[in-house]
Structures are given as C-alpha cells and as structure tokens.
Structure 1
Amino acid sequence: MSKQPGRKSILANFASYTPQQRELEQENAPSEPTTSSSRVAGVIGATQRTLAELREEREELKAQLEASGELELDPELVDPSPFPDRLIDDDEEAFEAFKLLIASEGQMMPILVRRHPADPARYQVSYGHRRLRAARELGLKVKAKVGSLDDRQLVIAQGMENSARQDLTWAEKALFAAGMETAGVKARDIRAALAVDDPELARFRTVCRIVPEDVMRAIGRAPKAGRTRWTALAKACSDDDAVDRVRKTLADAKGSKSDDRFVLALNAAAAKTRKKLETVNVVDASGSKLGTANFTSSEVRITVDPTHAPGFAEFVRSELPALVERYKASRDS
C-alpha cells in the first residue's frame, strides 16, 4: 500500500546513506498504515513538539551512523535484537527471491548492529534481520555498520527503520511494543520507535493483554489483518473458552498462510459454544417413564406425556414458588 501523497515519513531520510532501494523493496512487503485521527489544538501542539524531538533524535542517530565504519562480519557472530519485532514469515518464496538477489548482486545495504553488551566479541542486530539470514544461509559475510547504541537508541533505530518503510505488520508492532514495555522501555520511547500516538499504543496494550502471546505468534504476521480486525479478535477472545477454541484451531492449521490462520482464529473465537445438555428421565415410584427433563447451565426444560401424567405441567407451575423458596433457603444455609 502506497503512502498518502504529501505525507513524508518522519524518518524518510533515516537511511539516506544507503545506495540502493531495490534490495529494500524486495526485503519488505508493505502493511496497513496507521491512520491518525484529528486532534484538538492543544494535542496538535504536543504532537509538533514530539515530532521536533524525533527529528532531533533522528539527526543524532544519523550522524552517529554516518560516522561509523562499515565492516564485514561473520553472521554466526551476530545475535538477534533483544527486542524482537518480527514474527515468522511464511512467505518463503519471497525470501528465496530476496536471497537470490543477494547471491547474484551482493548485499547493497549494510545492516545495523551494536557490540553485544554481555560479550564484546559478538554483536546484536538492530535492523536487517532478513539480510543477516540471507548472508548466513548463503555462507557469506554480512556487511554491517556498528553503532554505539544503548537499549533506548537500539529500539528507536530499529523501530524507525521499520516504520519509515511501513515494514512491520500491526501484530508485529503490537508485540514489539509489548516487548519493549516489559523490558522497561518508556512509553515515550516506544511511541518514538514505532511512530505511533497514545491511542494506538493503548490499542496495542489492549490486544496483547487479551490475546495471549502464544496465540499471536501461532497466527503469525497476518499482513492483511490490521488494527480493526485484531481488535475484533481481542473482543472475541474475552473468555477462556474462546481462547481454547482458537488454540485448538491453530494447532490444526499448521502449514497454512498467516492471513488464513488469522481468519480461522477469528471465526473460532467468535463461534458460539453449544451448552452442555444433560437429560434425565422423569419416572414415578414404579419406574414408569412420565417424560424427560433437559438441563443446561441456564435452562431447564421438562417434557411430559399428558396421557401418563395428566395435569403434571400445572402441578409443577403451582409448585414453583415453594421450590424457589427452598432454593433460596439452601443457598442461605
């Protein structure tokens, strides 16, 4: 999906040092853009201040990256980001085409890494996970820029790179935000990393609170499912029975595309469960059957044969007040 005319990403120039765009276009499939609602003047002013802060931070990071040298690293020495922002990509054909491009033309754009805080002989990737995977599978060195980044700068650079290209799906952004929040990253920095506002961050939190992480990861990227459909799934998953149905459905749907898994999950969550029905025969002292009584958690239905029990229905109706009083007495005792 193309960007709206006249709206340039706040990070459109973040990776301006790169010489090629073809590699990026094959590496990243567009997802649904986040639409911002109109705000009152006070909020607009706050947003403008936030954008100014983001521009300043972008320029600082850009200058730092431009000053850093480019290295060729052994992919086996590069670990994933401590803040994962990607779900498993089930479009292997697209990745194979991307890998073929790397094999035939070489890696045009470097990835961004930092020294591993716990092991200076290793690195952690900020962005460029698919380039890293392609180089590893091809047995090639991976071109990388090494930035001196703390956790905050790493997630902001990581989110900025992806958000500028509309690279992450809505679910990936939600899980990325949840992971950063769990790690203690401030809300301000999460918003900066993903270029989202407070209402969207709140929606991320709501969906991740209701839909278990294992369910979201089992569904996968689901690029066609945006905010509205994930919110609908969260609403449908408001009880444990719905979540259990979704897990069972996803367990039987392995091998399907993530968008198809999302549809199956949503349908399973929204399906009405059939109430458990218990049937008891109504018999007299001699054992003769007069009818049946059906019970569920919210319904009692008695059916009698009037030829065997004439007037039984009227008798039950007349006894209901006394039966209710006996029920209340048993509850109070």
Structure 2
Amino acid sequence: MTDSKKKRMSMLDNLAAAGAHPAAGSMMSSNRALRSARDAVDAHHVWEIDPAEIEDERYTDRLDPQDVHDLRASIEQNGQIVPILVRRHPTETNRYLLVYGRRRLEAIRGSDKVSKVRALIAKLDDTAALRAQVSENTGRRDLSYIERALFARELLDSGFGSQAQIAEVLNVTRSAVSMSISVANAVGAALAHAIGPAHGVGRPRWEALAKELSDFGIDQDELCRIAIDVRTKAGASEQVVDEPQLDPSVLAFDAVARHLKKSASQSRGQKPKTKATALLIDGMPVGTIKRSRQAVRLDLTHVDVAFAEWLDVRAQEVLEELHGRWKRET
C-alpha cells in the first residue's frame, strides 16, 4: 500500500483523535463508527464538490451551527484541511447528502474565494450516517447537555427509533435518554435556542431548571427575552485580554436560572389556585376538570356505568390519542 493511500485511509481515524478526549467507552464507540464510515468511503478519494450539490437533511445536533465566520476566514487563508463526509443521494444523480461537516460546508457556501468543498463520499444507510455524525462531533467537541437532550427528542419525535435505539446511537443509557427527553420537553426548543449550548452547564443544573419550569409554569416568553438580552449584551461587550473568556450562553443560563429561582420563591408563598370547569355530555353535566399549577384532575361523577367501564379500559389509548392531537395542533 502506498504512503498516499495509507494517508487517505487513516484520515477518518485521525478525526477521532482531534479535539476533546471522551471516556474510554465513548472513544471506542466513536472509533468504530468512524472506521465504519472510513471503510465505506469510495476508493478513499477526496473529491472537490460544488456545495450546491449537497443537501443537509440531517437531524440538528447543535444550537449554533451558523457561527462560521472565523472558520470561513481560516479556510480562505489556509485552505480546507479536513474534508467533510457525504453520501450519494438515493434517487438523484450528482447529488449528495451531508453526513457531517455542516460548519465547513456553510463556511464555503458563504465564501466568495472558495468555490468547491473537499469531501469524502461514503456508502452509508441512515443509521450508519447518524452514528458517524454523532461520533465525529464527539471526537471533536462534545455536544453540550441541552444539545444532546434536544437531539434525542428530535430523533424520538421523527420516528427514528425507540429510546433504547437512540441510547445506543448516542452511547448512553436508556434512562439517561428518558431523562434528557423530559428536560428537553420542559425547557422547550425556543428557550433552549435563546440560551444557547451553554457548554459547562451539566445535567443537574438543567434538570433543576426543568423542574422549576414544570412546577411553577413561569412565562417562557419572558425567559427567552432575558436570555437573548444577556447574550446580546455579552456579545457586544469587549472582554479583557488574558482573562477567562465568558461564554454568553452560560451567562444567559445563569440569568434565566436566577429569574426562575426568584419567581419560584415568590410563588411558594402564594396559595396554589385550582380552576374547575364543568364537563357536559349531550348538554348534561357529568363532572369537572380541575387544573392547578402542577396537575390536571378529571372527575366524572355522573356518567353511564357502561361508558365509565369502557373509558377505564381504554384510558391509556385515549390519552395517547389526545396527546398526539395536541402535538399536531401545536
């Protein structure tokens, strides 16, 4: 084997060694996924492709993928050192689907000096492509906790697979996936994007934030405004050279957490309010639905016994149908 070919074949292996150093189990999983991608590369050849021929239909795994200004300047000055990975489009000729390298692709798309993107072309199915995407990001810089949580929820909502399958792809336990999805649901995409990735803010603090959001039902629009305002001011201010650089998204998280804690403290001193609404069937009252800050209670005290038995058997099915309708409508 020639030195040139050896260099090309080891290119994806080198990606796993770049950047942060994950735990041993995570590193082994990352290496396996990246080597599988390497073995599927067409002739281990680096191609130059028109960026317009590449589609990005992947699951979103980062909250700030468009932050590419510095990367574009580096590529224009030094060239694109590391290729992106694409796979051939299943139905269209001369079209490709991005596996990983979104920031490099976006940087070159926005450049008026570089017209082609250097890429490896692999034969991968959807699952293998997703594994390669996750492994490449893990090898370079771990996704933050909230990025992983939103990523897991997107995989679940899109029908990618069960929580166990998602756990396997992300190389975590099923319980960790379940908890992260709960956090993502409580925080919501809007607030998460307003705060940003917040690297360094780990699971316990996000779980505490999610719990207070769920317990006290505080207006998230106001929290989004607080987060965006903090990030905007942090981005506009000049930080002192030779001092630790403050992450605007961490500052935004801290501001939101402080506001939540203050609001929660005030709410604890107030008596919880319960709102009851009468329920009717064929114009006749059959019970009430009561909603407090933390719960919803359904009392059906005047319904037909046969209907009550029917509902008792199908309660889970009816609840899931209503939840699915709610998701479609909202």
Once the two structures are TM-superposed, the CA of residue 297 in structure 1 deviates from its matched residue by 5.3
Once the two structures are TM-superposed, the CA of residue 242 in structure 1 deviates from its matched residue by 5.0
Residue aligned with 1:70, SS = strand
TM-score by length of 1: 0.62
Number of matched pairs: 244
Equivalent residue letter for 2:201: A
Residue aligned with 1:126, SS = strand
Equivalent residue letter for 2:174: D
Q: Which residue of 2 aligns with 1:126?
A: 99
Q: Which residue of 1 aligns with 2:284?
A: none
Determine which of 138, 142, 153 is the counterpart of 1:167: 142
Q: Which residue of 1 aligns with 2:110?
A: 137
Q: Which residue of 2 aligns with 1:258?
A: 249
Equivalent residue letter for 2:134: G
Relative distance call for 1:265 and 1:119 in structure 2 (3 A) is farther
Once the two structures are TM-superposed, the CA of residue 122 in structure 1 deviates from its matched residue by 3.1
Residue aligned with 1:135, SS = helix
Once the two structures are TM-superposed, the CA of residue 67 in structure 1 deviates from its matched residue by 3.8
Residue aligned with 2:218, SS = helix
Distance 1:96 1:51 in 2: 30
Distance 1:86 1:16 in 2: 27
Q: Which residue of 2 aligns with 1:148?
A: 123
Equivalent residue letter for 2:85: L
Pairing 1:70–2:64 present: no
Matches within 5 A, 1:224-303: 224-238=200-214, 239-241=216-218, 243-253=220-230, 255=232, 256=234, 257-272=248-263, 274=266
Relative distance call for 1:71 and 1:52 in structure 2 (3 A) is closer
Distance 2:153 2:196 in 1: 16
Determine which of 62, 67, 74 is the counterpart of 1:101: 74
Confirm or deny: 8 A CA contact 1:54 1:192 kept in the other structure.
Answer: no
Once the two structures are TM-superposed, the CA of residue 142 in structure 1 deviates from its matched residue by 0.6
> Structure 2: any 5+ residue segments left out of the alignment?
1-8, 235-247, 274-330
Confirm or deny: 8 A CA contact 1:160 1:193 kept in the other structure.
Answer: no
Residue aligned with 1:71, SS = strand
Distance 1:298 1:204 in 2: 28
Deviation by residue 1:40-91 (Cα, 9 ceiling, x = unmatched): xxxxxxx9xx99998766544331126453221122222324211111169x
Q: Which residue of 2 aligns with 1:217?
A: 193
Q: Which residue of 1 aligns with 2:11?
A: 17
Once the two structures are TM-superposed, the CA of residue 144 in structure 1 deviates from its matched residue by 0.8
Once the two structures are TM-superposed, the CA of residue 240 in structure 1 deviates from its matched residue by 2.2
Q: Which residue of 1 aligns with 2:287?
A: none
Determine which of 179, 184, 202 is the counterpart of 1:203: 179
Deviation by residue 1:85-127 (Cα, 9 ceiling, x = unmatched): 111169x5xx544333322221121101123446444322121
Distance 1:119 1:72 in 2: 18
Distance 2:144 2:176 in 1: 14
Distance 2:271 2:99 in 1: 53
Relative distance call for 1:164 and 1:196 in structure 2 (3 A) is farther
Relative distance call for 1:16 and 1:143 in structure 2 (3 A) is same
Confirm or deny: 8 A CA contact 2:38 2:44 kept in the other structure.
Answer: no
Deviation by residue 1:183-234 (Cα, 9 ceiling, x = unmatched): 2222344233322222321221121121111111121111121212211211
Pairing 1:176–2:151 present: yes
Once the two structures are TM-superposed, the CA of residue 157 in structure 1 deviates from its matched residue by 0.9
Matches within 5 A, 1:43-122: 59-65=35-41, 67-88=43-64, 95-117=68-90, 119-122=92-95
> Structure 1: any 5+ residue segments left out of the alignment?
1-14, 37-46, 276-295, 300-333
Find the structure with the greater CA-based Rg: 1
Equivalent residue letter for 2:80: Q
Q: Which residue of 2 aligns with 1:158?
A: 133
Relative distance call for 1:64 and 1:188 in structure 2 (3 A) is farther
Equivalent residue letter for 1:127: Y
Equivalent residue letter for 1:183: S
Equivalent residue letter for 1:145: L
Relative distance call for 1:171 and 1:52 in structure 2 (3 A) is closer
TM-score by length of 2: 0.62
Aligned sequence identity (%): 29
